[in-house]
Amino acid sequence: MTEGPILSAKAISKSFGRGASKVHALHDVSFSVEQGSLTLLKGASGSGKSCLLAALSGLQRPEGGVVIAKGTDVWGRGGRSAERFRRQYCGYVFQTPGLFPSLTAWQQVFVPLRLLGVPAGDAKARASQYLDLVGLLDRAQSKPSQLSGGQNQRVAIARMLAKRPAFIFCDEPTSALDGRNAVMVARLLSEAAKQQGATILCATHDDRLVPFASRVIELEDGRLVSDTAEPKP
């Protein structure tokens, strides 16, 4: 476990447009997170949570401020650091699973691992291991069209977890899911933080995730308005 913050946002700002139409999406947002934590970024639509997540995850350069991950400036060196950060350390979960229509659930996990250079034997073992983890090993040969929306989201999570990323960034991962699948996804993310030491940040308005979080950060109009550690039973 790393001592001190593993990810820090320092005075992050972002705006869109120009002149009278300029919109300030983020206003000098600063906070840090520890390794192995599950932090929720909550707020209404337009609060800036997805914009902040994009800046923290190396997907969208902030207009101002610094993101430090593992002691390195994510947006330094003309964006090359962000590309390296994404490739080496990050896993992503979005509202839409983004699966390949022609691949089976098992192949969805196996193929990306091979593209990352994981040896075939290890990739095969991980594909089965992580499909089992999300409760879908019995559907390993099913394609996305043969699975429900919740099952496809769980396949996407298996694909992401099989990479064993240091950071997991989620943008509304449960908003389209029913209660059972939403709780399962939340539990999988919580276990990844605890068991794999992954650092997870999740932009969401879904209160069903709150009991599984170690911390909840509330945004309003691009500003951090509350930061609460969630007590665990």
Task: Read off the CATH number of the domain in which 30 is found.
Answer: 3.40.50.300
Quick check: 122 pLDDT over 90? yes
Half-sphere exposure of 231 (CA within 13 A, CB side): 1
Which comes out higher in pLDDT, residue 67 or 231? 67
CB 152 within 8 A of CB 97: yes
**Looking at residue 21, what is its pLDDT?**
74
Distance between CA atoms of 146 and 144, rounded to whole angstroms? Answer: 5
**Looking at residue 13, what is its pLDDT?**
96
* Average pLDDT rounded to a whole number, residues 135-144: 97
Mapped onto helix, strand or coil, the DSSP state of residue 72 is strand
Distance between CA atoms of 230 and 233, rounded to whole angstroms? Answer: 10
**pLDDT (tens digit, 9 = 90+) per residue, 154-187?**
999 999 999 999 999 999 999 888 888 899 999 9
**Looking at residue 24, what is its pLDDT?**
85
Count up the domains in the chain and report the number: 1
Beta strands in the chain (DSSP E): 7-16, 23-33, 38-42, 64-69, 72-73, 90-94, 167-171, 199-204, 215-220, 223-229
* Average pLDDT rounded to a whole number, residues 189-204: 93
Q: Which domain holds residue 150?
A: 7-229
Does 148 map to a domain? yes
Does 1 map to a domain? no
Quick check: 232 pLDDT over 90? no
